[in-house]
Amino acid sequence: MSGAKPGSPTTTLRLAAMLICVCVSAQTQAQTLSIQGDRFAVDGVPRFLTFISYFGALGAGNVTADLRLIRSKGFDGVRIWPLLFTGPQLMNSDGTLRQDALTRLLFVLDRARDERLIVDVSFTGEHIPGLDARHFRDGVLATAAALRPYDNVLVDIQNEREIYGPLGRPLPAADVASILAGIKAIHPSRIVTASNSSQVTAEFAANFTAQLGLDVTTYHDPREFNWFEFETIQPMVRTLRATGRPVYLQEPMPTRDFTFSWYLNHDKAEYFLKAAASAKLAGAAAWCFHSPLADDLRGAQTFLEDVFRAYPEPEWAFVSSLLPARVSFQAANELNYVRAEGGGGGDVRATSMAVGSWETFGVSVLSGGPLVDGDRVTIATSSGAHYLQAIGGGGGALRAAADKVGAWETFIIEKPGGGGIRPGDAIRLRVSGDARWYVAAEGGGGANVLVNRPSAGTWETFKLLFVP
């Protein structure tokens, strides 16, 4: 067999080419988290971010499978605690980093980057016995240096810093400011915050962020009755946004009360689905689903999916219905369903009597997060190769022939009365643009589907169904 000898120019070039391919692949997978005004942006595109607690990441037995599940369910990121005692703890009591734990942390970040997930790295100094504030600072800065290559990370200097911190004491504002300055000296573009609990007011949290120059106002909102309602969340978010920073509702109501028995309204997925939608509608930049089930995932046979499935409410029901993977549209006559002829590539009609593959569509929410009134969406056919398109930008036919997304393939979804959009809700679709052309099923169903109505009525209203 012929071939280049080791060390020959040909072999060297081949190795270089392989390395270039690996680097290009890594760059392609990587995501960059940034801030635009009071919004987060991913790869330069503003979007609402939905996180999930994954505190026990460093000890999890199946990180790759867990993160793949999280991404497949529509989450944008995970929140991890690298100092938690359910895995190798990242810091020693003198602030030095444990190599085994750092290797594990980098492994988690690599797998998150593979799945295009953002990672909230939240420090909990109280979990390291004997660690004082000075050495805690050393450890956080050493971590910041080690995470320099990762652009998909944000850092929470200390979880609920006005309650917890090194030696179990609150972390004073001066220490937060010192650590912030140190991180920025190492990595100027790193997004840094320090979270406050609901023991302080929203106004205090906003002012704390502004006075210290933190990038994000991160607040653990009060866990009170009707905590998930828009009327509860909107005034809180309005106060938090007053300084112009993004608002991250990092730790709302937990899903169960292992510690506090007085929590209410946290046993059903519908509460958490409503909370996420309310946060988005109120103008928050991010929201986190907070379940303590992910605190300890040690063991080779421990999969997050199995852990969540063991709790149908609220965990599994929530993660399974955060975003609609597939939907169908029922016409106003409640008999016919919209279909893309041939599964895509041709006409769109509302003539089907049942839901099959041609009547199934994928909805992508361009702003991220749960589906709410006013969202801009694209609608893919079951083939995955075509998108619904308003020919000419509206005023005529709706077809499923587009093979890429542009203005004609972007729609605004409206819910009469506003709010989050859930299965069975009545919705309307209009072309995203200056003209207000609505999608209509002629006769209320049983004929063609057009985009030629300047206003919405019965024929322009559809029932949105989530397809299992």
190-201 residue pLDDT tens: 999 999 999 999
**How would residue 468 be classed by pLDDT, with cut points 50, 70 and 90?**
confident
pLDDT of residue 6 exceeding 80, the answer is no
Whether 202 contacts 239, CB under 8 Å: yes
CB atoms within 10 A of CB 357: 13
For residue 21, what pLDDT is reported?
A: 40
Where are the domain boundaries for CATH 2.80.10.50 in the chain? Answer: 327-466
Phi-psi region of 374 (alpha: psi -120 to 50; beta: other; left: phi over 0): left
Instruction: Give pLDDT, residue 1.
Output: 36
pLDDT of residue 260: 59
Which band of pLDDT confidence, cut at 50, 70 and 90, is reported for residue 411?
A: very high
Question: Which CATH superfamily does the domain covering 31-319 fall into?
Answer: Glycosidases (3.20.20.80)
Compute the distance between CA of residue 459 and CA of residue 457 in angstroms, rounded to an integer: 6
Asked if residue 291 has pLDDT above 80, the reply is yes
Share of the chain above pLDDT 70, in %: 92
Residues 104-154 have pLDDT tens digits of: 999 999 999 999 999 999 999 999 999 999 999 999 999 999 999 999 999
> What local confidence, expressed as pLDDT, does residue 384 receive?
87
The mean of the pLDDT values for the chain is 92
Within a 13 Å sphere around the CA of 225, how many CA atoms are in the beta-carbon half?
0
Strands (E), 268-347: 286-289, 327-330, 337-340
pLDDT at res. 30: 61
Contact status, residue 446 vs residue 412, Cβ threshold 8 Å: no
Enumerate the CATH 3.20.20.80 domain ranges in the chain, comma separated.
Answer: 31-319
| pLDDT, tens digit, 9 for 90 and up, residues 325-337 | 799 999 999 999 9
Question: Sorting pLDDT into bands at 50, 70 and 90, what band is 230?
Answer: very high
Amino acid identity at 459: W
CA distances from 311 to 272, 293, 295 (A): 15, 9, 15
How would you label 61-87 residue by residue, b for 16+ Cβ within 10 Å and e otherwise?
A: ebbeebbbbbbebbbbbbbbbbbbebb
Average pLDDT of the segment spanning 265-271: 92
pLDDT tens-digit map of 37-85: 999 999 999 999 999 999 999 999 999 999 999 999 999 999 999 999 9
Integer Cα distance of 405 and 408 in angstroms = 8
Fold of 327-466: Trefoil (Acidic Fibroblast Growth Factor, subunit A) (2.80.10)
